[in-house]
Amino acid sequence: MKLRSQRGQMAIFIALFFQVLFVFFAMAINVGLVVHDKINLQTAVDLAAYYGAQRQGEILNQIAHVNYQMRQNYKLLVWRFRVLGALGMDTHPMNPKNSSGVGGDTPATAVPPTICVTHSLWREYDELDQNSSICRQANLNLINIPQLTGGAGFVPGFNNLVNFVDETRRQFQKQCNEAGVFNWLVAARWLAHYRIDGAARKEMIIQLANQLSQPGDSFQDLRGGSVKEGVERTLRNNLTEANSNDSLTMQYFNSMGQGECANVQTWLPEIRINPVVRFTDLDGTNIDACNASAVPNRETLPRPAVNGFTTLPSGFVTDANLRNRYLIPNMILAQHWATEPTNDLHSSIGFEKNPWCMVYSGVTAQTTVRKPFSPLGGGVSLQARGFAKPFGGRIGPWYGKSWPSGSPNSQAGSRNEQVDPNLPSRDVGGAGGADPNFDLANHSRFPGDQNGMNSMQAISAMAGQKGILTPRSLNWSHYNHLGGMPSMRATGDSLARNALSPAVHRPMELGSVAPDVFDIYYYSIEPAYFQNYFTANATNNGAIFNSDIRIFDFGSTKDGGQPGANQELNVMNQVTNAQIVYGGSVNYIIKDWQHLLTSWTQKGAVDFGFDADRFGRCSSPVRNQEFPATGNCTQGGRTGYGVKPISRDYLLSSDHALAGEGGGGASILNRPPF
């Protein structure tokens, strides 16, 4: 009996032991499954946030490239002002009569820039007078033929001679007055179109920025698709069956769609500048002399060419065809010349990114899971949140070197505090304080450049092209297409053009906008912009831009009106062309499109060190545009923004060192709500 009791107790003990063991086993299984589901949920949330940041990065990449196009637009104006417009000066190294080659990198004090196109290289003026030139000096005084007196009545034919001299004097005065007007018309057209081109590209940037500044629920990608829907698909496609059930809820947060940073003017302020260009004006009011001087825009003087008229007065140019040929339709050139517009036509170098508005995506998800050994109760509630941000790309440089927290824009109290010390002053709040000496249109060619385009080397860099600059080779009508905004949207072309054959200096103008060392240091530049953003197999920007707004890279045309040019031209073509027109004469112009690949890239999947072997190199470029690839490269360096996961603690930090030189730490303006 006692033995049977002991056996019964042992059976009960064993039963209890296995029951407890089973409970512990079931608990371990359930805990393991819950941990697995929690890890799976967190991984899926991280991937979903990564997807959202990728869509943000795509928009930032396009903003960066169009912003670079705005700098190119300004570079074209500077080149026309300091090189093309000043070719007639005796001291200019690009003057075909000047035998000098590429100069040293010294200030071009002997060549004060002024636009003067009344010389024999320009076809229209050569038709008027093939021998004279009033462009040889920036300031020039010409003495007229003296009036003949005395001798009438006793010198045979004297009256005829007097009439001839008087007519010559009148022609001298007429030509003097007309020359100043012609110079002003070309200068004003170039300046006005610089603003028109800039306004067209601003419209693209603002539309992209507005797209990025939408709340998460309405944020669309470049294809016109809902980013939130893509985030949710990414989340669900990476969840286990247990997590992906009817209880799953998700919230997507676009950091640029809330608070102060939802305002485009806050996170992407425009850099409005005060560039000064000058033209050679001639005053023949005094019939005994013709006085030439370099007149800057914004100067209010009652001179013949800048007297506030809105149409060219017939008294200055008697040929009606000439008078009408050089007026921009629906544009008041005198207003563009004398004042800086306050609307989108204001002179601009582009936009700067506010560092205190951080671009990132946030995702939070919650689900309830049931486990096989927990049949009772409401299940286990799991929650995860993840964040990711675009990084490594560059929209463009700030104007100043510092951006204190709370400031509406970067700060620069002097030239030394500007990122590009050669830029004109910034027009903040419509102050418009242009200084004719401080603000002459100029830009840097590389970081630390002290001279910019005010350099003998810079203005003579295309000296190898002087052979194409022959009498009558240039033509004012090469710029007839530079009309108002409708013309810009129709042609998409800002370069000299000729309907019959390419303008001889079109390659030189294209070379003037080619990427230099400054550009690749501060901008994310897309080598194959059209192929990656506007072809059917790329991102189909038609979902965002209509055909009027889309403007492509310099050298492209939208209307097919320029032989040898089409809309597919891109920065790679610009680099190739630059090697021809510069001939390797200067080191600041990049020599290979691969040098554009200057964004961050890692060595391997888990090695985040800097890979010098990939920087500025591509081992496997895309061939014949077989498929779109950012940077036109499938293996090697890269351009534009990458994506990385970030922590919530990082976003909540109050010590972000984002202010630039001499700045302290502070919080970002758009902290996460969860």
Residue, of 611 and 78, whose pLDDT is higher: 78
In a domain, 36, yes or no: no
Whole-number Å distance between alpha carbons of 278 and 210: 37
Whether residue 275 contacts residue 439, with contact meaning beta carbons closer than 8 Å, is answered with yes
Q: Using alpha carbons only, how large is the chain's radius of gyration in Å?
A: 33
Task: Please count the residues of the chain.
Answer: 674
Judged against a pLDDT cut of 60, whether residue 271 lies above it is answered with yes
How does pLDDT run across 510-525, given as a tens digit for each residue?
999 999 999 999 999 9
Lowest mean pLDDT among 276-280, 653-657, 662-666: 662-666
Among 523, 484, 479, which Cα is nearest to 349's? 523
| Share of residues in the chain with pLDDT > 70 (%) | 78
Give every strand in the sheet of 249-254, ordered side by side. Answer: 249-254, 361-369, 380-391, 642-646
- The SS3 call for residue 254 is strand
In a domain, 666, yes or no: no
**pLDDT of res. 5:** 66
Strands 642-646 and 380-391 come out as: antiparallel
In a domain, 226, yes or no: yes
- The SS3 call for residue 402 is strand
In a domain, 672, yes or no: no
Whole-number Å distance between alpha carbons of 404 and 434: 25
**pLDDT of res. 671:** 96
In a domain, 140, yes or no: yes
Judged against a pLDDT cut of 90, whether residue 162 lies above it is answered with no
Q: What is the mean pLDDT of residues 4-29?
A: 76
Whole-Å CA distances, 505 to 183, 277, 487, 497, 510: 18, 21, 21, 9, 9
In a domain, 5, yes or no: no
In a domain, 75, yes or no: yes
**pLDDT of res. 136:** 77
Looking at every residue in the chain, the average pLDDT score rounds to 83
**What is the domain extent for residue 309?**
41-652
Per-residue burial over 415-432, b = 16 or more CB atoms within 10 Å of its CB, e = otherwise = eebbbbbbbbbbbeeeeb
Whether residue 460 contacts residue 87, with contact meaning beta carbons closer than 8 Å, is answered with no
Which residues lie across from 294 on neighbouring strands? 280
Lowest mean pLDDT among 65-69, 121-125, 480-484, 485-489: 485-489
Judged against a pLDDT cut of 80, whether residue 54 lies above it is answered with yes
Judged against a pLDDT cut of 90, whether residue 76 lies above it is answered with yes
Instruction: Count the Cβ atoms, other than its own, within 10 Å of residue 381.
Output: 10
Among 489, 515, 517, 598, which Cα is nearest to 75's? 515
Judged against a pLDDT cut of 70, whether residue 167 lies above it is answered with no
How does pLDDT run across 212-221, given as a tens digit for each residue?
999 999 999 9
Which residues lie across from 280 on neighbouring strands? 294
Strands 348-351 and 270-272 come out as: antiparallel
DSSP state of 504: T
Copy the structure tokens of residue 82. Answer: 């300091």
**pLDDT of res. 320:** 43
Whole-number Å distance between alpha carbons of 610 and 246: 44
Copy the structure tokens of residue 269. Answer: 């302020």
Question: Could you tell me where the DSSP H helices lie in 559-639?
Answer: 571-582
Whole-number Å distance between alpha carbons of 630 and 508: 28
**pLDDT of res. 479:** 87
Whole-number Å distance between alpha carbons of 211 and 544: 9
Whole-number Å distance between alpha carbons of 459 and 55: 42
Whole-number Å distance between alpha carbons of 119 and 131: 8
Whole-number Å distance between alpha carbons of 547 and 294: 41
Residue, of 414 and 10, whose pLDDT is higher: 414
**pLDDT of res. 308:** 37
Please give the single-letter amino acid code of residue 561.
G
Whole-number Å distance between alpha carbons of 48 and 34: 21
User: Could you tell me how far CA 181 lies from the centroid of its own chain?
Assistant: 32
**pLDDT of res. 292:** 78
Whether residue 239 contacts residue 42, with contact meaning beta carbons closer than 8 Å, is answered with no
Copy the structure tokens of residue 59. Answer: 């928009």
Whole-number Å distance between alpha carbons of 124 and 142: 22
Residue, of 604 and 617, whose pLDDT is higher: 617
**Number of domains observed in the structure of the chain:** 1
Whole-number Å distance between alpha carbons of 444 and 420: 6
**pLDDT of res. 318:** 39
Judged against a pLDDT cut of 50, whether residue 119 lies above it is answered with yes
**Would you call 55 exposed, middle or buried from its count of C-beta atoms within 10 A (0-12, 13-18, 19+)?**
buried
Whole-Å CA distances, 240 to 28, 430, 507: 19, 57, 59
**pLDDT of res. 293:** 80
How does pLDDT run across 398-411, given as a tens digit for each residue?
999 999 999 999 99
Within 13 Å, how many C-alpha atoms sit on residue 116's CB side? Answer: 30
Which residues lie across from 226 on neighbouring strands? 220
**pLDDT of res. 453:** 97
In a domain, 469, yes or no: yes
Please give the single-letter amino acid code of residue 279.
F
- The SS3 call for residue 647 is coil
435 pLDDT tier (thresholds 50, 70, 90): low
Please give the single-letter amino acid code of residue 42.
Q
Whole-number Å distance between alpha carbons of 587 and 604: 32
**Would you call 379 exposed, middle or buried from its count of C-beta atoms within 10 A (0-12, 13-18, 19+)?**
middle
